[in-house]
Amino acid sequence: MLSVSDLTLHYGAAQALRGVSLQADAGKVTCILGRNGVGKTSLMRTIAGQHRPSAGTVSFEGKPLGRSPAHDRARLGIALVPQGREIFPLLTVKENLQTGFAPLKRADRSIPAHIFDLFPVLAQMLQRRGGDLSGGQQQQLAIGRALVTRPKLLLLDEPTEGIQPSVIKDIGRAIAFLRDKMGMTILLVEQYLDFARELADRVVIMDRGEIVFSGDAADLDKPDVRRHLLL
């Protein structure tokens, strides 16, 4: 479904990704774990087309994406929920959701009802400004906005960061629903190990711009795997 091969990324002279290769299988949750600053966000943004790699390829549904920009990738069905959410604070919840219409054909420009089933708070707050929402509500809005684009591949960058436990549960349920009922492919960056273990089918661990482990979620219980995550 998604195949990343030998991806290298530089920020000026600094190298953020060093030959990263991974697969995200269709209809599964693949979780990327790793300490702060090891390159997880850089990888997600490169897959989404926001950063140009210096080498390597990203292929989606068997086709290399080359140098195609983010909006073309969104049209193909790749949606990123960025770290920090990046919602528009002065737009209403409804308007924020409607920004997800951009990659869609005119006939498809509607907000799917399942978004409000997953996150009822969004329906209650449609006319509120994004900036007035709590952090957890903003995270639900950011996921909702990505779902408006009808993604086949959903990239979630630390969706539990700074979020209260009840909302973390809602987000976990939403991810499981999208995988199990909608067959969505999900790539999840996560630092919260219990959340990752509960949802992941496959796990990948990064360290200093490289993949240092890939395997099954159950492998996270092994001490030699966990050591990659210790400070």
Ligand X SMILES: Nc1ncnc2c1ncn2[C@@H]1O[C@H](COP(=O)(O)OP(=O)(O)OP(=O)(O)O)[C@@H](O)[C@H]1O
Shortest Cβ 191–ligand X spacing (Å): 6
At 140, list the tokens.
């639900």
Shortest Cβ 195–ligand X spacing (Å): 14
Q: Which is nearer to ligand X, 39 or 100 (CB)?
A: 39
Q: Which is nearer to ligand X, 31 or 97 (CB)?
A: 31
Q: Which is nearer to ligand X, 40 or 202 (CB)?
A: 40
Shortest Cβ 116–ligand X spacing (Å): 30
Which residues would be at the binding site for ligand X (CB under 6 A)?
11, 14, 16, 34, 36-42, 83
Shortest Cβ 131–ligand X spacing (Å): 22
- Strands of the sheet with 29-33, listed across from one edge: 78-81, 153-157, 185-189, 29-33, 202-207, 210-216
Q: Which is nearer to ligand X, 11 or 107 (CB)?
A: 11
d(CA 45, CA 9): 11
DSSP β-bridge partners for residue 15? 10
d(CA 63, CA 74): 15
Shortest Cβ 129–ligand X spacing (Å): 27
d(CA 51, CA 30): 21
At 194, list the tokens.
């219990």
Q: Which is nearer to ligand X, 34 or 103 (CB)?
A: 34
Long-range contact pairs involving 163-166 (C-beta distance under 8 Å, separation at least 24): 163/135, 163/136, 163/139, 164/135, 164/136, 166/136
